[in-house]
Amino acid sequence: MIQDILLEIGSEEIPSRFMPGALENLKNNALEIFKRNGIELEAGQVLTLGTARRLVLSITGVPEKQADRVNRHLGPPVKTAVDSQGNYTQAALGFAKSRNIEVKDLHVFPDPKGERIGYEETVPGQWVKDLLPQILVAVIQSLSFPKSMRWGSLNFNFARPIHWYLALFGQETIEFELAGIKSGNCSYGHRFLTPQTFCVERADLPLFKKMLRERFCILDQDERKQLIREQIDQALSKNSQALPDEELLEEVNYLVEYPVALCGSFAAEYLDLPSEVLINVMRQHQKYFAVADKSGRLANSFVVISNLPEKKAGLIVSGNERVLQARLSDAQFFYNEDRKIKLYDRVERLKGVVFQEKLGSYYDKQERVKSLFTAIAPGDEPALAASSIFKADLLTEMVQEFPKLQGIMGEQYSRLEGVSEEIAAAIREHYLPRFAGDELPKTMAGKLLSVADKIDSIIGCFGIGLIPSGSQDPYALRRQALGIINILLEQKKKLSLDFLIQSALTCLQPLITLPAQQIRQEVTEFFRQRLYHLLTGKGYRYDLVEAALGAGFSYPHLVELRSLALQNLVNDPNWEPLVIAFKRVARIIPKDLQLAPLRYDLFTEEPEKELYRQFNRRQKGICDLLQDEDYLPALKELAALRPAVDLFFDKVLVMCEDEAVRENRLSLLGTIAGMFAQVADFGKIVTQTG
């Protein structure tokens, strides 16, 4: 017989940004912990739902009893436990006696180190209801959050203080106590509308969702999100639409339990402010959805998602309008005040704004970036001009009040001050990309400024020992490295990662405290890891990416092209023989081999002559393909050498006594290996035969 499990963890409001990870964490941890306790579950049996006040775990089709399991106990090896006549020795008898079993129950079992004697015992499964208290406690304790807290005198961490547990197995309440709270069969509805407790008779998720809905709580986050979408559309007129904002929708979804979309407005005079300012004020500070007309022009309206029913709509809308009015009034004041001082006149004051204690001020950083341009982009006037003021908007009232507008206000103010469109755009674009999947800079000046600013931060922090570790990355160096890689992927061979690192090292030399060679190696490896994760995240096989990286990654786009070529060749019948052939070549070549000019007169065996002829015939074509970054045809040409390589190894003794002949053979293999190595380090590729 099977039963369902329902666990609800009720708490103070959990920050919305914690919720998606917490729900995924809850599901994965439950699967693992149940498995450790002998209860195998399919992912489809486990569902996690939640609001800011509750995390819910629902598991369907759980057996009432664990399956019986067979435990195998191994004793001494057969060679010491059984004599030549097939009789058990004293070692076997002693093992049986120590385990209190009959000798007749001993059997021979396979083992990685050789056959051993032993026995098997069947352990009856336990009742699941008896195991659930410790399992559910373990599941709750396993949850982790970006930030946790303790409360009272408890030695227990959670996102927010816990107030109740609902724990049911079928119709039975699972009793346990954790963090001073005892579990039961009761839950709570909406905090303000139905704060009374109510009882749940059985672990029936559809019934539980219905009971919560009756108490003004939509438990299913996907259902709640869809409801918000629909309500936003209903709240607006046919001539207007909410600006798409999936990130805000995700955040708002976990701020409310009973969403109600309401439309408000603000004075039309504020539309004179830059649209980015209006959107930022509404979005970041008030969690409102900005509204535009059908032409896409910003309207003086907004949509707020309330957590209370529509009967209080008038009060809610007017209250939010008053708050927004004050915010926009402040923004208008800041905007007008900022325009009284030009960005160029603010630059000197950047000396008083610390970037990092050991790396100086933002003025120092801006000057270093300007110096970088003389190395990486000599003659790029827009980039150089933008680098003279690209941090100046940090001193504006608007950015100090709304930090997410940095760069955006620099673009707005510089444009009003008469700079070119490319310079103004570069000031905004140097912050791009801000996160995975974000847009890349479009102007060349913006790309150069973004790369230079980010590499200065990375080299500077590594140079003084501020290296990311675990979850600690206070200067967002991982994100900045990915930003550089994504820009270089798009720019192809216009900028070398090695050259970029060296140029930044030169600019930062007076400030760094660690040896330059150490910094170069650590930063290079840091970029290698970021590129590896980026490409494997795109679906490239991990060992193929490692192999492609092994051929160098100063130009990241070449690594992706090589990974793609390798992946396209995996299903070719010659793939595995090709990899094996290269590994044979690579294994025999000394690491310190100095290639000598090949001498045909020293080839004494027909197989080595044939290998030379075939390689010589294909060499120029392969070099041309590699030069054109056409790796798949180049690999196929190299693959055509495989039969000749196999025959060479079967018939020719490479390490012969004649030194001249031996060196000539090694040089032939080394030359072929060098061609392979321009595509990938084949030694890192995993094959079925190892």
Which residues are registered as beta bridge partners of 298? 292
Q: State whether 403 and 502 are in the same domain.
A: yes
**Residue 111 to residues 103, 236, 308, 310, 612: CA-CA distances in angstroms?**
20, 71, 65, 70, 48
> What integer is the mean pLDDT of 235-256?
92
Dihedrals phi, psi of 128, to nearest 5 degrees: -60, -35
Question: What is this structure's pTM?
Answer: 0.78
**Residue 215 to residues 195, 197, 199, 311, 585: CA-CA distances in angstroms?**
9, 10, 12, 16, 72
- Start-to-end C-alpha separation, the chain: 46
Tokens of 103: 């000798």
Question: What does pLDDT average to over the chain?
Answer: 91
Q: Which segments of 243-344 are extended strands (E)? A: 260-265, 289-293, 298-306
- The secondary structure element, H or E, covering residue 306 is strand 298-306
**Residue 69 to residues 125, 126, 130, 250: CA-CA distances in angstroms?**
7, 10, 17, 44
- The secondary structure element, H or E, covering residue 516 is helix 516-537
Tokens of 110: 């396979």
Q: State whether 473 and 517 are in the same domain.
A: yes
In one-letter notation, the amino acid at residue 461 is C
Percent of the chain with pLDDT over 90: 67
Q: State whether 311 and 333 are in the same domain.
A: yes
Confidence class of residue 469 from pLDDT cuts 50, 70 and 90?
confident
Q: State whether 171 and 248 are in the same domain.
A: no
Q: CA 628 to CA 493: how far, in whole Å?
A: 12
Dihedrals phi, psi of 163, to nearest 5 degrees: -115, -30
Q: State whether 174 and 287 are in the same domain.
A: no
Identify the weakest region by mean pLDDT among 98-107, 251-260, 360-369: 98-107
| Residue 549, domain member (yes or no) | no
> What integer is the mean pLDDT of 145-157?
89
Q: State whether 196 and 143 are in the same domain.
A: yes
What is the count of structural domains for the chain? Answer: 5
Q: Which of the listed residues 191, 214, 237 is the one where a domain comes to its end?
A: 214
Q: Which of the listed residues 154, 180, 214 is the one where a domain comes to its end?
A: 214
Cis peptide bond N-terminal to 259, omega within 30: no
| Residue 545, domain member (yes or no) | no
Given the structure tokens 């060349």, which residue do they identify?
Answer: 444
Range of the domain at 317: 221-338
Strands 162-169 and 181-184: parallel
Q: State whether 266 and 297 are in the same domain.
A: yes
| Residue 547, domain member (yes or no) | no
Q: CA 107 to CA 120: how far, in whole Å?
A: 9
Tokens of 653: 């003794």
Residues 62-89: tens digit of each pLDDT: 998 888 888 899 999 998 899 888 899 9
Q: In the predicted model, is pLDDT for residue 216 greater than 90?
A: yes
Q: State whether 163 and 113 are in the same domain.
A: no
Note the maximum CA span of the chain: 104
| Residue 548, domain member (yes or no) | no
Given the structure tokens 């970036």, which residue do they identify?
Answer: 369
How many CA atoms does the CB half-sphere of 480 hold within 13 Å? 22
Identify the weakest region by mean pLDDT among 33-37, 53-57, 323-327, 676-680: 676-680
Tokens of 391: 């941090």
Is residue 678 within 8 Å of residue 632, measured between CB atoms? no
Confidence class of residue 689 from pLDDT cuts 50, 70 and 90?
low
Percent of the chain with pLDDT over 70: 100
Confidence class of residue 493 from pLDDT cuts 50, 70 and 90?
confident
Q: In the predicted model, is pLDDT for residue 690 greater than 60?
A: no
| Residue 676, domain member (yes or no) | yes
Residues 307-345: tens digit of each pLDDT: 987 777 888 899 999 999 999 999 999 999 999 999 999
Q: State whether 386 and 488 are in the same domain.
A: yes
Among 36-45, 380-389, 469-478, 556-565, the range with the most confident prediction by mean pLDDT is 556-565
DSSP-based three-state secondary structure for 395: helix
